[in-house]
Each structure stands twice: as structure tokens, then as C-alpha cells.
Amino acid sequence: MRLNAGAQAIGFSVSDYKNKPVQLTAYSGSKVLLSFFRDAYCPFCNLRVHQLINHFDEFDKHNLKVITFFAATQEDIYENAGQQNAPFPIISDPQLTWYRKYAVESSSMGLIRAMLKPAAMMKIMTSRFFNLKSVTKKPLIPADFLIDEDQIVARAHYGRDYGDHISIPEILSWAKTGN
């Protein structure tokens, strides 16, 4: 069952792909963007990680922390998404334990819907992240959660396609105003 705004965020205590501990409760008092991605090869996911890195200082200025999950092994993250040296935790969850708890969905239509967006596809195809390895992976659809200082979900966004996330301007607006 999907999480909705007003729900208590589901706590976790895990290690990121570098074996650093990450506990959601440690972020109490800060706003959090919690993002679930497909696999570490996914060009849509890697482009989004790149965008989050590029806006990290602005997020940090507004006390917004970023935590990400990948449905990938630590090794796959090291070889792909981890090469970007993100200043936020990237958590490996190949068994989809936390994906299930946050009701992250799968859809075979996710790739097709993404392909129907020519501008987004051109951006992916011309990015350094383009590859076809993730096409054979489980068709997970990304999900983003904006979690307030009291660890309540302020917004739950379940994507419709492989590249569908809450926009950076929406995240920044929420970080600044809480709305």
C-alpha cells in the first residue's frame, strides 16, 4: 500500500554502499528527500543522481538532506552511480526490502512511457550515463518522499516512468517553505 502525505516515515537502520551507517532517525530535525532508484546502471537514475549532486549545496543551505536507495549490489553501485562521488548516502538494496516497505512499484510500461518523452530521451542518449544494461533489470519505477523534521511524509511521489521524479524546483520550494 502506497504511503501518503501525513504518514509516519518508515524508519531504517542500514549501511550505505561504502559501509557507513545510515539511520533515518539521525535525520530528525532536518528535512529529507528520500529517493528510490532502479539499478545502478540505469541512465535515468544516474542522470538524476547527477542533478541531486549539482543542487546539493542549495539543499544543504535549506537543511534538506538527501538519502538514496538503489536496487543494486554494492559492487554495481561502486562501478556506476558511485563513480559520481555523491555527498549523500547511496544505499544498496538488491533484495528490495525497503522498496517493499515504501511500496515502490514496478511497471513494464515505465520504459515505454519514458521513451515517449523525446526531450528526456535525447538528454539520456547524449549523456555520459547512457547504456542499455538496465533494460533487462526489474522494471522498478522511481519514488521520492519529502519527509519533514518530525519524520512525517510531507509528499509521496510514485513515478510513472523510469525518469519521473519530483522536480528540483518543487523540492527546493518545499525545502524553503515547507509547502
Tell me, what CATH number does 56's domain have?
3.40.30.10
Full domain range(s) for residue 155: 13-177
Indicate whether 167 belongs to any domain: yes
Indicate whether 151 belongs to any domain: yes
Indicate whether 130 belongs to any domain: yes
The domain tally of the chain equals 1
pLDDT value of position 52: 97
Indicate whether 97 belongs to any domain: yes
Indicate whether 132 belongs to any domain: yes
Predicted confidence pLDDT, tens digits, the chain (179 residues):
899 999 999 999 999 999 999 999 999 999 999 999 988 888 888 989 999 999 999 999 999 999 999 999 999 999 988 788 999 999 999 999 999 999 998 776 656 555 555 565 556 556 655 565 655 567 789 999 999 999 999 999 999 887 889 999 999 999 998 77
Indicate whether 40 belongs to any domain: yes
Q: What is the DSSP string of 101-134?
A: HTT--B-THHHHHHHT-HHHHHHHHTSTT--SGG
